[in-house]
């Protein structure tokens, strides 16, 4: 599975378009777009996207390892990615994530901000379609995988939408929210479906649930002790087009991303160092880092710290720097 086929790129437009589109369903997109939304657009929109994203992705990842449908054979297809090749194919979690994020963003903003309904709908459709097509172009999924992922995500959105406000209110106000947000994801990660060989799905799922857990605790703390979400004095920057200048927007974004990346690097080093001492393995031992007792706490603590930093530490830093 570590071998790649040789191929010749004949159309660089499609090649870079779909390579870029594939990245819209990966960590680089999540770690930039979701915090950007929280810092520069609207807290409530960001909360709803994170709730939907974490639920949809968990169901998608678990479904892969329960169904165990193989990815397309290579040959005849040429696979342009290798990291996720060890995972099963159905459903496409790229398709699920793209559908969930784009349409939850559209649904959450269409009644709060003035923009043409058709424009928002088309933008969400184009975004999700590009990511779905990228999975076919890169040879990572069949048409059925992609359609299945998009349909499952759509059904979950329809089921979750009526409960959005209730879930959001409970996560902001319930005294049990911090405990629930940490314990439930950890239980789900430690009881993830077992496979006969190592697959990145458990680690990726832990990353997603950890980030959502840290962010949720941050939402709760902000509502309790900083700026309550249900008051007219809530500190929310407003939509980008009517917010402060692009200088402030970019400053908030780049300072925030720098702090988030530093947090990820620092926590990864610290947690791996502690686990390495506890279980007696060198930090660079890839096989040891794949063990359940190492992978789950290492990724959960690292990314819950990232989520917490993005929702609590970075906004405090923005305020101290006069960027709010």
* Residues identified as active-site: 94, 141
Joined together, the tokens standing for residue 72 give: 């397309």
The number of CA neighbours under 13 Å toward the Cβ of 314 is: 28
Contacts of 73 (CB under 8 A, 6+ apart): none
The number of CA neighbours under 13 Å toward the Cβ of 318 is: 28
Joined together, the tokens standing for residue 125 give: 């459709």
Burial class (CB in 10 A: 0-12, 13-18, 19+), 158: exposed
Joined together, the tokens standing for residue 135 give: 């999975």
Q: To 10 degrees, the CA torsion angle through 171, 176, 182, 185?
A: -70
Q: At what angle do helices 201-221 and 292-308 cross, to 10 degrees?
A: 30
């Amino acid at each position: 599975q570590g071998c790649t086929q040789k191929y010749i790129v004949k159309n660089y437009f499609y090649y870079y378009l779909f390579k870029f589109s594939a990245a819209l369903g990966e960590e680089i997109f999540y770690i930039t777009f979701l915090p950007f939304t929280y810092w520069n657009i609207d807290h409530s929109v960001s909360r709803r996207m994170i709730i939907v994203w974490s639920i949809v992705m968990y169901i998608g990842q678990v479904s892969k390892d329960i169904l165990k449908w193989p990815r397309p054979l290579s040959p005849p297809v040429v696979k342009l990615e290798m990291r996720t090749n060890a995972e099963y194919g159905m459903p496409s979690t790229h398709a699920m994530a793209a559908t969930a994020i784009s349409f939850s963003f559209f649904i959450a903003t269409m009644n709060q901000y003035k923009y043409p309904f058709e424009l928002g709908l088309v933008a969400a459709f184009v975004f999700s379609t590009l990511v779905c097509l990228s999975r076919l172009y890169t040879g990572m999924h069949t048409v059925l995988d992609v359609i299945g992922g998009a349909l499952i995500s759509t059904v979950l959105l329809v089921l979750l939408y009526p409960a959005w406000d209730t879930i959001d209110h409970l996560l902001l106000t319930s005294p049990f929210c911090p405990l629930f947000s940490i314990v439930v994801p950890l239980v789900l990660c430690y009881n993830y479906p077992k496979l006969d060989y190592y697959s990145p799905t458990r680690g990726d799922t832990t990353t997603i649930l950890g980030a959502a857990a840290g962010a949720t605790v941050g939402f709760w703390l902000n509502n309790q002790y900083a700026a309550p979400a249900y008051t007219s004095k809530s500190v929310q920057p407003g939509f980008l087009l009517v917010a402060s200048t692009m200088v402030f927007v970019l400053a908030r974004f780049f300072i925030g991303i720098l702090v988030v990346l530093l947090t990820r690097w620092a926590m990864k080093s610290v947690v791996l160092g502690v686990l390495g001492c506890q279980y007696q393995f060198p930090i660079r031992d890839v096989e040891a880092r794949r063990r359940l007792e190492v992978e789950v706490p290492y990724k959960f603590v690292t990314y819950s710290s990232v989520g917490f930093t993005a929702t609590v530490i970075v906004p405090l830093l923005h305020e101290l720097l006069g960027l709010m």
